[in-house]
Amino acid sequence: MMINRRDFLFKMSMATTGVALGFSGFQHRAQALTTHDTVAAMRSYGFGELVPTLTQNTGETFLALPKGFKYKVLGKAGSKMSDGHITPSSHDGMACFQIGNELRLIRNHEVSNGKIPKPGAAIGENPYDETTGGGTTTLVINPETLEVIKDFVSLSGTLNNCAGGRTPWKSWISCEETTLGQAIRTNQVINPTGGYPKAHGYCFEVFASANASVEPVPLKAMGRFKHEAIAVDQNTGIIYLTEDAKTAGFYRFLPQRNQYLAEGGTLQMLKIKDKDAFDTRKGLKTGQCFATNWVTIDHPDPVAADLDESAVYKQGLGKGAATFARLEGAYSDEHGRIYFVSTNGGDNRGGQIWRYDPNSIEEGTVTLIFESPSPEILDMPDNICLKPNSDLLFICEDSDYLGEGGTPENYMRILSPNGKMANFAKNIAKDFETSEFAGSTFSEDGKTLFVNLQAVGATFAIWGDWNTFRR
């Protein structure tokens, strides 16, 4: 049914106690950050020093991990899947689901196609656009052995499937990070792009229970822009969306009927109250909090997006909505608070981590809970996830933008509520050391962390004693 104010307030009241408790922890984080003026003071021990570690199943070395942690490599690019298709490259966003006695990973493949159509490029059956090579694969995994039982294409014929997010009704929303379509774009820097049979720039839903490629339905009411990630407030069914662009909006989608996304709904963009077109990219301090409301996007699927990837963003900006820098990862906790990442936001361009707290159906607050003071601490965060039943935020780095001041190393980091950052994993894959981490996701019981190295084209299952974290 349509989300209304009465339903929203009732559901919010059910989570009030948890919100208050969790928020106090992040207040402590902000206070800690204002007192730390050295890199060393902002580091925590975490799970300990990282050491080069062999995989348990192939004997290869891809990662440095804390002593005692182990991992297996799964679903490598180029390997043949159970359905006969070849595993695509460019592993990106991902989620893990418990379906019966199985674990199911749904994994994005951020295949860009060279930004032009290539007939026959689709990775599997039932493609949305047979000239594009992006989509998702599903890995069915034995939770005891962490070995793949079967794997197959679950979404075919999409483009630049970067991130997305899981839903409480056990589906994965896969997002296209492009708005290329039928029109052909030309400029003086690169060759013409576009010219596809279908428009791109949409979200697609893939159910974890599916055993073959799903019917690809573009969720057009959720907007046509450079999508990155989504996060669902399980209390209300509202879906929050990020946009990976130099000038980006933070959006939400209010479905006409909860869980039935193809039936449409309303797309809105975050606005800072009493501050029209507020720019959050620089000049802020960790701990700053702003009252917010939302402006409605009148045309979420504009034809202009074929040539202008900011066509949706400009609608929100024209109504006074806020601007962020390259919004990427997003994650929702059990109380409906939405964590989201600005990859190169902040005075040092090392990244920002934000949290949105809904107060009512119309209003909320957004808080800058962390801004990187140095690439040694955090360098261009991307996908994020919270470890189940904990307050530890796991962060994938995408820090290979050397021309923009990034470093060649890529880590997985952990942000804890005391405002300190710990190293959890480092990419040491030979010849692929600059490959980003992507798709971090835990099994629902919190025992196994799954993550990708994108350029390597590999998924890892990591486990160890999660109770040894030291803040």
- Examine the pLDDT at 24 and tell me if it is beyond 50: no
State residue 400's pLDDT score.
64
Output the pLDDT for position 22. 46
**22-31, 189-198, 212-221, 361-370: which range is least confident on average?**
22-31
pLDDT at 20 over 60: no
Q: Where are the domains of the chain?
A: 5-468
pTM: 0.93
What average pLDDT does this structure show over 387-404?
Answer: 86
pLDDT, greater one: 190 or 264? 264
pLDDT digits (tens, 9 = 90+) for 327-378: 999 999 999 999 999 999 999 999 999 999 999 999 999 999 999 998 899 9
User: Tokens 């000038």 identify what position?
Assistant: 247
> Where does the pLDDT of residue 39 fall: very low under 50, low under 70, confident under 90, or very high at 90 and above?
confident
pLDDT computed for residue 405 by the predictor: 64
Tell me what pLDDT residue 29 has.
47
Quick one: pLDDT at residue 403? 63
Query: Which pLDDT tens digit goes with each residue over 49-67?
Result: 999 999 999 999 999 999 9
The residue-averaged pLDDT of 134-140 equals 98
Can you give the pLDDT at residue 34? 44
pLDDT band for position 80 (cuts 50, 70, 90): very high
The class that CATH gives domain 5-468 is: mainly beta
pLDDT of residue 55: 98
Mean pLDDT of the chain: 92
% of the chain at pLDDT higher than 90? 86
How confident is residue 30, by pLDDT bands cut at 50, 70 and 90?
very low
| More confident site: 26 or 167 | 167
Question: What's the pLDDT at 132?
Answer: 98
Q: Of 389 and 187, which is predicted with more confidence? A: 389
